[in-house]
Amino acid sequence: APPAAGAELSGMFQAVAKQECYFINGTEKVRYVLRYIYYREPYATFDSDVGHYVGFTPYGERNAKRLNSDPALLEDRRASVDRYCRH
């Protein structure tokens, strides 16, 4: 909620990138998910099962389009299943 009239802003904001690994059937099936969150609202995510970024808000869609245009970044994210989760 916005601050009350006359109240000063704290100057703080919250931006989070959260990485998660999901193990299905032991380590037979591993899924890597990277979520970008701004003020508790997810705006973009990368899911290794999907293989590219997906945006949930207009800002997230712009960022997903930008991130998906970089093949080296996508390959790095896809390799995170082995590098980050299985390591």
Q: Provide the angle, in degrees to the nearest 10, between the axes of the packed helices 71-80 and 58-68.
A: 100
Q: How far, in Å, CA of 74 to CA of 2, rounded?
A: 37
Specify the fold of 14-86.
3.10.320
- What is the structure's pLDDT at 2? 61
Q: How far, in Å, CA of 87 to CA of 83, rounded?
A: 6
pLDDT tens for each residue of 60-72: 999 999 999 999 9
- What is the structure's pLDDT at 54? 96
- What is the structure's pLDDT at 25? 86
Full pLDDT tens readout for the chain, 87 residues: 566 666 666 677 788 999 999 998 887 899 999 999 998 899 999 999 999 999 999 999 999 999 999 999 999 999 999 899 887
Give the tokens for residue 6. Answer: 């006359």
Q: How far, in Å, CA of 83 to CA of 22, rounded?
A: 14
- The residue extents of the domains of the chain are 14-86
Is 37 strand, coil or helix? strand
